[in-house]
Chain A
Amino acid sequence: MGHDTAEWVYVGVICGILAWVGADSWYVEKLVDDVPKDAEVIKVTAQQWFWTFEHKDGTKEVGQLHLKKGQPYKFEITSKDVNHAFNMPDWVIMQDAIPGRINKAWFVPDQVGEFPIQCREYCGLLHYNMRGTLYIEDNK
């Protein structure tokens, strides 16, 4: 063993861990970016200070969203006025809603129940109250 072996081992270990951190994050990012082909599109429109959801058959819901368990959904998110952020904390979904731009997010609900939807970007006086409810129902 040379006089500097321990130092090189130290450098190697740190570089190894950092390389693994980068590779693992990149892999998971690719994984969660990949929207399933059979995902149903829900158009999400934000405006001061409520959410509108449009299903693929054209029906609209305001301030609430009814989805089926086990069905993949892709959200196309935009805004009519200022910047907002579409957030469903229980499902680890958060995406900016920007005027003139369509951002995407997706998920597959695997649990029935009621979950909060909220705006996560300060958007004006009633930002705190820009909430909605996600209802996930059994797909039977």
Chain B
Amino acid sequence: MKTTSIQSMKSILALLAVSLTALLVLPLVNLADAATGEKEYVKLRNEIWNLFFRMTTAAFVVGAVVSGTIIWLVWRFRESHPKNKAPTKWETGEAAH
């Protein structure tokens, strides 16, 4: 059981690492491409709209992570959850000894 949760934590971390790396690397590739061309001006409206879409994506990711965590907490620590049937060691008083 513990191994499974460590494995799933590792895959979540790997997924996050890949996503964050992609977010950092893609703009750099874009810049490198732009540098090879002839004289080109910044396309203002493209930059601003692209920023808007990236920020929207970030906002939705944060929203999903935060609300997902809250939903999971409520679901996992409800009284009727099977894992919460047996009293904890703090409830039985074992932890005090």
Contact = CB atoms under 8 A, between A and B. Distances in A.
Contact of A13 (B45, B50, B65): B65
Interface string A64-92: 00000000100000000000000000111
Contacts of B16: 13
A24 B49 CA distance: 13
Contact of B47 (A18, A31, A72): A31
Tell me the interface secondary structure of chain A in the complex: helix
Nearest to B49: A92
B23 interface: yes
Contacts of A13: 16, 65
B41 A28 contact: no
A20 B21 CA distance: 11
Q: What secondary structure prevails in chain B residues at the interface with A?
A: helix
Interface of B: 6, 9, 12-13, 16, 20, 23-24, 27, 41-45, 47-51, 54-55, 58, 61-62, 65-66, 69
26 contacts: A1-B6, A1-B9, A6-B9, A9-B9, A9-B12, A14-B62, A20-B20, A20-B24, A21-B58, A24-B51, A25-B51, A25-B55, A28-B47, A31-B47, A32-B42, A32-B44, A32-B47, A36-B41, A72-B41, A91-B44, A91-B45, A93-B44, A106-B44, A108-B43, A108-B44, A110-B43
